[in-house]
Amino acid sequence: MSSVIESIETLLVDLPTIRPHKLSMTTMACQTLVIVRLRDSDGIEGLGEGTTIGGLAYGPESPESIKRNIDAYLAPLLIGQPAGAVAALRARLDRHARGNAIAKSALETALLDAQGKRLGLPMAELLGGARHDHLPVLWTLASGDTARDIDEAFQRLEQRRHCDFKLKIGANAVDDDVRHVAAIKEALGERASVRVDVNQAWDESTAVRGIAALQAAGIDLIEQPIPAREHAGLVRLANRFEVPMLADEAVADARDGFALAAAGFNGAYALKIAKAGGPRGALALAQVAQAAGIGLYGGTLLEGTIGTAASLHAWATLPELAWGSEMFGPLLLRDDIVAEPLAYGEFGVELPKGPGLGIALDEDKLAHYVRR
């Protein structure tokens, strides 16, 4: 008899960050992970993670709503179903529940982790097979203090931890943000690539002024300068400037990616398993981008190790990440809930080995940080 899903447990886990992380919409001093533990009748457990930024500051799902909607609506759709039927189970979730991309991503990750353990295969093999075992990782400089950000960048370079840097801007006046970014780029020179993420904070006319100044300062990539739904404006900005635009919140899934490419967008897409509803949805968006000649970037919602590992297994199957990845979420956290941390070094991170995610929980650490 084939294995069936017996239970699904969700846990809220609050982990402090190593420093305040300043974005255009919030400043984070703690990250809340929603950890999923999916147990099958054959004794196999699959792990998943659903994570967002700043409660409801970033998007329509909060940690509390992710947990509640899994417990009340999504888990009952899976319990008692064949454990190995990952594609059919994802279709079942979409058929009966709208939206909830982050919650569905956590469940899909747990299903894939369990299936990988059952078959003795890494998750990447279930997604088409790994082409890479080491992926590049940039670091986000988000203290908001110019001198501190410069010191942090040089420290990461000397450690051979990161050689590309992203700056979170948009919370301050445009001229102030540009001065901050330009000073950091001038200090780093050609030693490092510097990009910015505006997190949708500008309108189009402000973006024109800001991007012109950032391009003149030598910035390499501009991420989501205007609101996600303003596709036409993003296309205009991409065609107006030489510095590429990176679409993030504007492209959640393959349908968004097709629409933006069809409208004439010529920049890059940020892939995120959370916004695409899971690793398989993110890879479908990647296929659209590749067909349209659009570059790819491996994005994060600042997941912990479980969510980061799931993303890495997906990104490892891609021919190329032209703009690298930002899978540094675990490094932003002061502690972890896994037995073995991810191996960061040489300006990137190693793909975890072993079946499924290749990640095991540290039960004592989990018990310490779980919200009661």
Evaluate whether residue 357 is within a structural domain.
no
Q: pLDDT: is 12 or 57 the higher one?
A: 12
100 and 61 in contact (C-beta within 8 Å)? yes
pLDDT tens-digit map of 83-92: 999 999 999 9
Q: Which of 45-59, 211-225, 232-246, 334-348 has the lowest mean pLDDT?
A: 45-59
For 333, the token pair is 């956290």
pLDDT the model gives residue 275: 97
The residue among 326, 328, 327, 251 whose CA lies nearest residue 294 is 251
Q: Are 43 and 130 found together in one domain?
A: no
Say how far apart CA 336 and CA 369 lie, in whole Å.
Answer: 9
pLDDT the model gives residue 128: 97
pLDDT confidence of 22, banded at 50, 70, 90? confident
pLDDT confidence of 1, banded at 50, 70, 90? low
For 261, the token pair is 């490419």
Evaluate whether residue 151 is within a structural domain.
yes
What is each CA distance from 251 to 56, 198, 231, 243, in whole angstroms?
A: 19, 15, 10, 19
pLDDT confidence of 254, banded at 50, 70, 90? very high
State the total domains in the chain: 2
Q: Are 185 and 165 found together in one domain?
A: yes
Q: What domain range is 107 assigned to?
A: 5-120+362-369
Q: Are 332 and 259 found together in one domain?
A: yes
Domain at 50, CATH number: 3.30.390.10
Q: Are 316 and 191 found together in one domain?
A: yes
pLDDT confidence of 21, banded at 50, 70, 90? confident
pLDDT tens-digit map of 301-318: 999 999 999 999 999 999
Q: Are 9 and 93 found together in one domain?
A: yes
Q: Are 166 and 310 found together in one domain?
A: yes
Evaluate whether residue 306 is within a structural domain.
yes
Cite the active site residues. Answer: 168, 326
Say how far apart CA 128 and CA 306 lie, in whole Å.
Answer: 20
Nearby residues of 248 by Cβ (< 8 Å), 6 or more positions away: 197, 223, 224, 228, 270, 272, 299
Query: Over 90: is that where the pLDDT of 5 sits?
Result: yes
Evaluate whether residue 355 is within a structural domain.
no
Q: Are 185 and 300 found together in one domain?
A: yes
Evaluate whether residue 81 is within a structural domain.
yes
267 and 240 in contact (C-beta within 8 Å)? no
Average pLDDT over residues 196-216: 97
The residue among 75, 83, 9, 74 whose CA lies nearest residue 44 is 83
For 367, the token pair is 């018990």
Q: Are 166 and 312 found together in one domain?
A: yes
pLDDT tens-digit map of 265-275: 999 999 999 99
Q: Are 41 and 143 found together in one domain?
A: no
pLDDT tens-digit map of 110-149: 999 999 999 999 999 999 999 999 999 999 998 889 999 9
pTM of the model: 0.96
Say how far apart CA 305 and CA 273 lie, in whole Å.
Answer: 14
Say how far apart CA 186 and CA 218 lie, in whole Å.
Answer: 9
pLDDT the model gives residue 54: 83
* Helix, strand, or coil (residue 295): strand
Question: In the chain, where do the E strands start and end?
Answer: 5-22, 27-40, 45-51, 134-136, 139-141, 164-168, 193-197, 222-223, 245-247, 268-271, 295-298, 344-345, 348-350
Query: Over 90: is that where the pLDDT of 13 sits?
Result: yes
* Share of residues in the chain with pLDDT > 90 (%): 94
Query: Over 90: is that where the pLDDT of 6 sits?
Result: yes
Q: Are 143 and 112 found together in one domain?
A: no
pLDDT tens-digit map of 284-293: 999 999 999 9
* Share of residues in the chain with pLDDT > 70 (%): 99
Q: Are 98 and 133 found together in one domain?
A: no
Mean pLDDT, the chain, rounded, equals: 96
